Structure 1
C-alpha cells in the first residue's frame, strides 16, 4: 500500500508552522518528515525559509533563553530544552559565550518566589528545596547561593 501524498507543499506547511511560532531547523524538518514529505522537498522548504530569514536557529535560541528565564528555569534546563528542540551546539555555545545574566541572583529570585522567607527547619525540607531547584536546572553552586546553604554536597 502506497503512502498518501500530502495535500499541500512542504514549503506551504513550513510557512504555516513558522507563522505560529519560531522553530529550530531540525524541529521543522522532523515535523515535515513526520507529515510524509520527501527529504528533498523538506530540504527545499527549509532552505527557502532560511533564505527569507523566516527560520533562524540563533533567533530561536535567543527566544528560548528569554522564555526559559521567564519560566524560572536555570541555565542547565534551558540548555537541555535547546538540545531537545534541535538547536545546534555551536549556536548554543555562541549564545552563552558572552552571557552576562546573573544566574545566581535568578536562582535566588526563583527560590524566594517558591518558598518565600520561611526558614528550612528540617533536613527533609532542605532536601525538598534542593530537589526543586535542581529540577529547575540550577547547578549546586547556584542552589547553595539561592538557599543560603553552607553544606558541601
Structure 2
C-alpha cells in the first residue's frame, strides 16, 4: 500500500482532486497516462516475452488497497470533495466561466449535484455582474447596442457557460 499511497500523495500535491479523479488515476497501470512517471521502463520487453506471457513489473492494484489509500487520504483531510468543489467554483469563476459550464465540468470530475449546489451557494457569486465584466473585458466598455454585436456578445457568453437571463441582464442594467 505504501507505493499506492505515495502515488496518491504525489497526485494530490500537484493540485486538489475529486475522489473520482483520484480513484481513476490510481487505478491506472503505472506506465500509462501518468505525466509524473516519464521514465522509460528499465527493461525492454521483447516479442518472445509477450508470446510466452511474461508481463512487466506493474502489479495490479487490488480494490482493497485502493479503498485503503482513498480512506487514508480522506481521514487526513487531503481528499475532500466539498472543498475541491468550492475551490474549483471560485477558480473557474475568476477565469470568467459561468455557472453552467462549471457545473458540467464538476459533474465530469465526479462531484455529486448536492455538493455542487452547496459550493455555488457558499461561493455566492453575482453572476450578472460577472457576465458584464467578462463581456467588457472581451468587447470593451460600453457594450455596443448594434444587433450583430449583441449577437456576438451573447454567443460568446453562452459558450462561457452563462445563462440567457444573465446575458440579458447586461443590457437591462
Regions of 4+ moved over 6 Å: none
Residue 68 of structure 1: how far off its partner (Å): 0.8
Q: Distance in 1 between matches of 2:22 and 2:157?
A: 31
- TM-score (norm: length of structure 1): 0.83
Determine if contact 2:18/2:111 at 8 Å carries over to the other structure.
yes
Q: Report what 2:169 is aligned to.
A: 145
Q: Report what 1:62 is aligned to.
A: 86
Q: Report what 2:57 is aligned to.
A: none
Aligned residues, how many? 141
1:119 equivalent in alignment to 2:144: yes
Q: Report what 1:3 is aligned to.
A: none
1:22 equivalent in alignment to 2:46: no
Alignment of 1:1-153 (within 5 A): 9-35=3-29, 37-97=61-121, 99-117=123-141, 118-123=143-148, 125-146=149-170, 148=171
RMSD: 1.9
Which one has a bigger Cα radius of gyration?
2
Residue 101 of structure 1: how far off its partner (Å): 1.9
Determine if contact 2:12/2:78 at 8 Å carries over to the other structure.
yes
Where structure 1 has 5 or more consecutive residues not aligned to the other structure, the ranges are 1-7
Q: Distance in 1 between matches of 2:80 and 2:122?
A: 19
Residue 111 of structure 1: how far off its partner (Å): 0.5
- TM-score (norm: length of structure 2): 0.74
Q: Distance in 1 between matches of 2:14 and 2:160?
A: 27
Q: Distance in 1 between matches of 2:165 and 2:6?
A: 47
Q: 1:132 to 1:53 in 2, by over 3 A?
A: same
> For structure 1, which segment, 9-18 or 99-108, has the greater mean C-alpha deviation from structure 2 after superposition?
99-108
Residue 98 of structure 1: how far off its partner (Å): 5.0
Q: 1:12 to 1:99 in 2, by over 3 A?
A: closer
Q: Distance in 1 between matches of 2:65 and 2:114?
A: 26
* C-alpha distance after superposition, 1:79-98 (max 9, x if no partner): 11111111122211222345
Where structure 2 has 5 or more consecutive residues not aligned to the other structure, the ranges are 30-59
> For structure 1, which segment, 113-122 or 18-27, has the greater mean C-alpha deviation from structure 2 after superposition?
113-122
